[in-house]
Amino acid sequence: MIKEKGILFVLSGPSGVGKGTVRKELFERKNELKYSISMTTRDKRPGEQEGVDYFYRTRDEFEHLIKQNKLLEYAKYVNNYYGTPKEYVEKMIEAGHDVFLEIEVQGALQVKENFPGGVFIFLLPPSLDELRSRIVNRGTESEKVVLNRLNAAREEIELMDAYDYVVVNDDIDRAVTKVQSIIQSEHLKRERVAKQYKKLLEVAER
Amino acid sequence: MIKEKGILFVLSGPSGVGKGTVRKELFERKNELKYSISMTTRDKRPGEQEGVDYFYRTRDEFEHLIKQNKLLEYAKYVNNYYGTPKEYVEKMIEAGHDVFLEIEVQGALQVKENFPGGVFIFLLPPSLDELRSRIVNRGTESEKVVLNRLNAAREEIELMDAYDYVVVNDDIDRAVTKVQSIIQSEHLKRERVAKQYKKLLEVAER
């Protein structure tokens, strides 16, 4: 058998587009994917587990990792850091597992800088009208917030060019199937596999 | 709806690897694919139809097309020309259809030169031993012919680097599913679709 490295897949897209739903359905279908575990400085909540829900670190530890460039991306929310530790992703990939990371657009761009070998998938709403109604239907946002988020989405969609694939989330099932086909076909790319196949064929000659 | 161009998919690989079987099964599953129709100078046989089985041309006409660079590839077998007319492929692609071309390795390399926007898939035997037994099992070849074909296969496999994807034909169903995932994911590539999506979103703003 060919020993192949895993691949980092990054799913991103504007807020409200349905990244979380797509990720959830994908994981229900494809159990061999590893979900990238985030690191945080916030307190562990009851029932949460180190290395399952998050890697929990002190603020000093987190800032040390930032300085050492050991995070694929990080951000600060409400006075706490959240980030993606590079080491976990690299270990999984070396062991042959695909890692899946669902993340906001700005975070994905940071990941791309620190891990250009990843495969970047942009999830797109069928239209801005549709995105608007999804945000409004959550019911929690004022009209002003909705407008701000739509403007942010428009700006984020301009960032699409940093991505490898674009998937329209017009239908969850269809979108997940598309992401699955991306995962499969990326493993078939010649530059990933040709060397190993050539070796395999040489062995067969003896 | 987004009006998208079609894509030319080229399936190739060493003789005996099962290209024809994979193509046949793929066409049974995916009816929207257009099969690239070849051009030939050989006589039309009973039951064959112009533009269905082949485009039939005289030797003069064919050589004229060669000079005008109107063939994606061509070769001469037993005193007759066979080739792939560029015009048919381009028309289909402009009309939004994917075109599928199953072809020998040397022909595929010619196509790549004349149509670099195509997607090139290399079908690989699981091992040279397996390829040997497939050739032997056809039962029509002498030991010397088998050895020659294996050497040719080895040389062809060295040409894998010109291809975009490598699919191992260890199992027909699995190989066809992989080719299908390549076809789907190629349509999701950002460089193919980003412009159109941006336009779509602009329209939605008004």
- Determine which of A156, A185, A189 to mutate to test the interface with B (most B C-beta atoms within 10 Å): A185
Give A124→chain B minimum CA distance, Å: 9
CATH class of A1-33+98-206: alpha beta
Chosen from A4, A163, A165 to mutate, greatest number of chain B CBs within 10 A: A165
Determine how β-strand A8-12 pairs with β-strand A165-168.
unpaired
ipTM field:
0.86
pLDDT grade, residue B113 (50/70/90)? Answer: very high
Q: Is B20 annotated as a binding residue?
A: yes
Please give the pLDDT value at position B136: 76
Q: What is the pLDDT of residue B202?
A: 66
Residue B148 pLDDT > 50, yes or no?
yes
How many Å lie between the alpha carbon of B188 and the closest alpha carbon of chain A?
5
Chain centroid to CA B93? 14
Give the span between the Cα atoms of A9 and A11, in whole angstroms.
7
In this structure, are residues B103 and B71 in contact, taking their beta carbons and an 8 Å threshold?
no
pLDDT at B120: 97
Q: What is the pLDDT of residues A106-161, one digit of tens each?
A: 999 999 999 999 999 999 988 777 777 777 777 667 888 888 888 888 888 888 89
Assigned token pair, A6: 């895993």
The string of DSSP codes covering A128-159 is HHHHHHHHHHT----HHHHHHHHHHHHHHHGG
Residue B180 in tokens: 């299908």
> Phi-psi bin for A43: left (phi > 0), alpha (psi -120 to 50), beta?
beta
Distance (Å, whole) CA A121 – CA A98: 14
Residue to mutate among B190, B195, B203, B205, with most A CBs inside 10 A, is B190
Angle, helices A172-186 vs B172-186, to 10°: value is 110
pLDDT in tens, B37-51: 999 999 999 999 999
Of B160, B185, B193, the CB nearest to A185: B185
Contact B197 A158 (CB under 8 A): no
CA atoms within 13 A on the CB side of A164: 19
Residue B58 has which token pair? Answer: 């005289």
Confidence tier at A202 by pLDDT (50, 70, 90): low
Nearest Cβ partner of B163 from A184, A190, A200? A190
Looking at residue A206, its pLDDT comes to: 44
**Structure-token pair, residue B192:** 């193919």
Of the pLDDT bands very low, low, confident and very high (cuts 50, 70, 90), residue B206 is very low
Which residues in chain A are contacts of B12 at CB distance < 8 A? none
Distance CA B108, CA B152 (A): 15
Counting one residue from chain A and one from chain B, the pairs whose CB atoms sit within 8 A come to 99
How far, rounded to the nearest angstrom, does the alpha carbon of residue A144 sit from its chain's CA centroid?
A: 29
Stretch A52-70: mean pLDDT: 96
Taking alpha carbons only, the member of A17, A1, A22, A36 closest to residue A156 is A17
Long-range contacts of B140-146 (CB under 8 A, 24+ apart): none
Report which residue type is found at A109: L
Do residue A188 and residue B167 have CB atoms under 8 angstroms apart?
Answer: yes
- Which residues of chain B are at the A interface, by a Cβ-Cβ cutoff of 8 Å? 122, 124, 127-129, 154, 157-158, 160-161, 163-168, 177-178, 180-182, 184-186, 188-190, 193-194, 197-198, 200-201, 204-205
With contact defined as beta carbons under 8 Å apart, do A163 and A118 qualify?
no
Kindly report which listed range (A6-10, A29-33, B134-138, B180-184) carries the lowest average pLDDT score. B134-138
Instruction: Answer whether CATH 1.10.10.60 is correct for domain B37-96.
Output: no
Domain boundaries, chain A: 1-33+98-206, 37-96
Identical fold between A1-33+98-206 and A37-96: no
Mean pLDDT of chain B: 89
pLDDT more than 70, % of chain B: 94
A157-174 pLDDT tens trace? 888 899 999 999 999 999
pLDDT at B2 over 60: no
